[in-house]
């Protein structure tokens, strides 16, 4: 039976009721029924707590600039489900979503799959059918038991690890890092950002156990930030055999220079597999990073008054955002309105604490998502930390009230909040309520 795009989105949305089920048995069975599409392409697997989406997008953009047919699988999305699955920078079309979901749904009969298992299978089938040569795959939650961990990549990448999803990954940083390190495969090199000592120990032990060469930023390669301004950074990347100055990245935030360095190292390893010459590789680095498109990261999305969006959704991400704002304030604190919307399964206090001193006014809201902290609860958490806030229902209403003050507005706390703010500003999503789906 033919189903419309809206029907398919409704089906995917319904899978929220299945909940989160970590493990590889179900996804392996599902992919087996689909003739194992994940074995049809080379891959780069990316895990971590913060920066993994940006890093994945950077690696994919460099591969594309090198002329390699490239797939990119990331989550969550800002506006449209189609953002999650891309080939050579182009989002999967609505028609393709319908066809892919129907095929996976039929193959999944009796397996009771989760949302994320179905979407992972859709991505892998799409990559195979589009004859993707390499795919950059971001984990959803954790690593070891994440549905994406069925792939055997050419290299693994681990971005900074911090406490997040403790109910699934563990209550200590070492436990969380152990789960993230689960993407390390025997003999497959792994590239890592700098880590806290407990996390780094887990990565070193996992790499040694799997006989995988560990490439660690600040030990095996490095970067130097050359310039940082709104919407653009530049850096020099260096390792034992290479120095590339003047790399431009159209993103805000010094932490993106670290992500870029990790991405360049991963691409350099891929370039060896692809037998690219050094000149060709350097050209792809420059062009790929300069042409990167990755919204929702301290992004200026409106003027008069200025509105910035950032998807910071855990304490480490909000601390990085706060540090960036302190180095390069978008406006004095008394001239800044903070619009917050946070998921209730996050460390709400840890997330909001670094941001509160940076705003003269604070408006608490909630995206249209069952897992969101209510505006009243969030305002109570702000008050408990010694700051005044008011609760406003609806991100669009909160944004209207913030803009009416005529000050600089910063919307943050969740990608779901950022996405609804974009819609409120007139950037339309494609059936954007799928953001209400569970991230698995």
Residues 188 and 209 in one domain: yes
Average pLDDT over residues 342-352: 88
Helix H or strand E segment including 9: helix 5-14
Residues 39 and 172 in one domain: yes
The DSSP output letter for 432 is G
Residue in 147, 88, 89, 156 with CA at minimum distance from that of residue 119: 147
Q: Are residues 172 and 129 in the same domain?
A: yes
Beta bridge partners of 337: 361, 409
Tell me the CA end-to-end span of the chain in Å, nearest whole number. Answer: 26
- 314 and 286 share one domain: no
- Which residues have C-beta within 8 Å of that of residue 370, sequence separation ≥ 6? 436
Q: Are residues 268 and 382 in the same domain?
A: no
Confidence of residue 440 (pLDDT cuts 50, 70, 90): very low
pLDDT of residue 250: 93
Whole-angstrom CA distances from 379 to 80, 346, 356, 374, 384 are 29, 15, 11, 9, 9
Q: Are residues 188 and 327 in the same domain?
A: no
CA torsion angle 256 81 117 74 (round to 10): -10
Assess whether 116 and 66 both reside in one domain.
yes
Question: What pLDDT, on a 0 to 100 scale, did the predictor assign at position 10?
Answer: 83
Q: The whole model's pTM is what?
A: 0.85
Q: Give pLDDT tens digits for 87-106.
A: 999 999 999 999 999 999 99
Q: Which positions ≥6 away from 171 have C-beta within 8 Å?
A: none
Identify the domain boundary among 232, 262, 290: 290
Look up the CATH number of the domain holding residue 157. 3.40.1190.10
> Where among 290, 309, 342 does a domain terminate?
290
Structure tokens at 247: 């790399």
Q: Is 132 exposed, middle or buried (0-12, 13-18, 19+ CB in 10 A)?
A: buried
Domain limits at 326? 299-436
Same domain, 256 and 339: no
> What is the reported pLDDT for 4?
85
Q: What share of residues in the chain are helix, strand, coil (percent, to 5)?
A: 45, 20, 35
Tell me the backbone φ, ψ of residue 394, rounded to 5 degrees. Answer: 90, 120
Summarize pLDDT for 262-320 with one digit per residue, the tens. Answer: 999 999 999 999 999 999 999 999 999 999 988 877 888 888 899 999 888 888 889 88
> Residue 417 pLDDT more than 80?
yes
Q: Are residues 87 and 39 in the same domain?
A: yes
Number of domain units in the chain: 2
Same domain, 213 and 315: no
Is 276 in the same domain as 313?
no
Residues 268 and 368 in one domain: no
What is the model's pLDDT at position 394?
Answer: 95
pLDDT the model gives residue 423: 87
Gyration radius from the chain CA atoms: 21
Given 266, 290, 314, which residue is the final one in a domain? 290
Q: How far, in Å, CA of 311 to CA of 340, rounded?
A: 11
Contact 179, 144 (CB under 8 A): yes
Q: What CATH number does the domain containing 346 carry?
A: 3.90.190.20
Tell me the CA distances in angstroms from 422 to 51, 78, 85, 296, 405, one per residue in order: 21, 8, 20, 9, 19
Q: What is the pLDDT of residue 170?
A: 66
Say how far apart CA 195 and CA 217 lie, in whole Å.
Answer: 9
């Amino acid at each position: 039976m033919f189903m419309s795009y809206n029907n398919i989105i409704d089906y995917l949305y319904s899978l929220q009721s299945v909940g989160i089920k970590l493990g590889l048995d179900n996804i392996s069975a599902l992919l087996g029924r689909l003739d194992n599409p994940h074995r049809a392409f080379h891959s780069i697997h990316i895990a971590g707590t913060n920066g993994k989406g940006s890093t994945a997008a950077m690696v994919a953009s460099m591969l594309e600039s090198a002329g390699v047919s490239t797939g990119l699988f990331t989550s969550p999305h800002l506006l449209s489900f189609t953002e999650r699955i891309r080939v050579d920078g182009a989002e999967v079309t609505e028609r393709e979503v319908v066809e892919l979901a129907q095929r996976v749904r039929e193959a999944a009969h009796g397996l009771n799959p989760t949302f994320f298992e179905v979407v992972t299978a859709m991505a892998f089938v799409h990559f195979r059918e589009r004859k993707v040569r390499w795919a950059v795959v971001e984990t959803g939650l954790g690593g070891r038991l994440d549905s994406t961990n069925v792939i055997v990549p050419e290299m693994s990448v681990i971005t900074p690890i911090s406490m997040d999803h403790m109910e699934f990954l563990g209550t200590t940083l070492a436990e969380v890092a152990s789960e993230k390190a689960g993407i390390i495969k025997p003999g497959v090199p792994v590239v890592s950002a700098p880590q806290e000592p407990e996390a780094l120990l887990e990565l070193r032990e996992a790499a040694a156990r799997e006989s995988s060469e560990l490439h660690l930023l600040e030990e095996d390669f490095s970067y130097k930030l050359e310039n940082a301004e709104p919407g653009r950074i530049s850096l020099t990347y260096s390792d034992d055999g290479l120095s590339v100055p003047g790399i431009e990245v159209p993103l805000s935030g010094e932490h993106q220079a670290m992500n870029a360095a990790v991405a360049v190292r991963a691409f350099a390893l891929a370039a060896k597999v692809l037998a690219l010459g050094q000149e060709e590789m350097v050209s792809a680095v420059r062009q790929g990073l300069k042409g990167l498109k990755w919204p929702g990261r301290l992004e200026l999305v409106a003027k008069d008054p200025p509105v910035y969006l950032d998807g910071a959704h855990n304490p480490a991400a909000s601390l990085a955002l706060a540090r960036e704002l302190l180095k390069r304030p978008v406006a004095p604190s008394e001239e800044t309105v903070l619009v917050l919307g946070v998921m209730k399964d996050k460390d709400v206090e840890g997330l909001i604490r670094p941001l509160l001193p940076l705003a003269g006014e604070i408006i608490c809201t909630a995206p249209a998502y069952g897992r969101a902290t209510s505006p009243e609860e969030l305002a109570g958490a702000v008050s408990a930390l010694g700051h005044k806030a008011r609760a406003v229902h609806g991100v669009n209403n909160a944004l209207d009230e913030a803009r009416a003050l005529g000050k600089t507005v910063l919307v943050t706390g969740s990608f779901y909040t950022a996405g609804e703010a974009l819609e409120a500003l007139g950037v339309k999503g494609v059936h954007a309520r799928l953001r209400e789906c569970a991230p698995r």
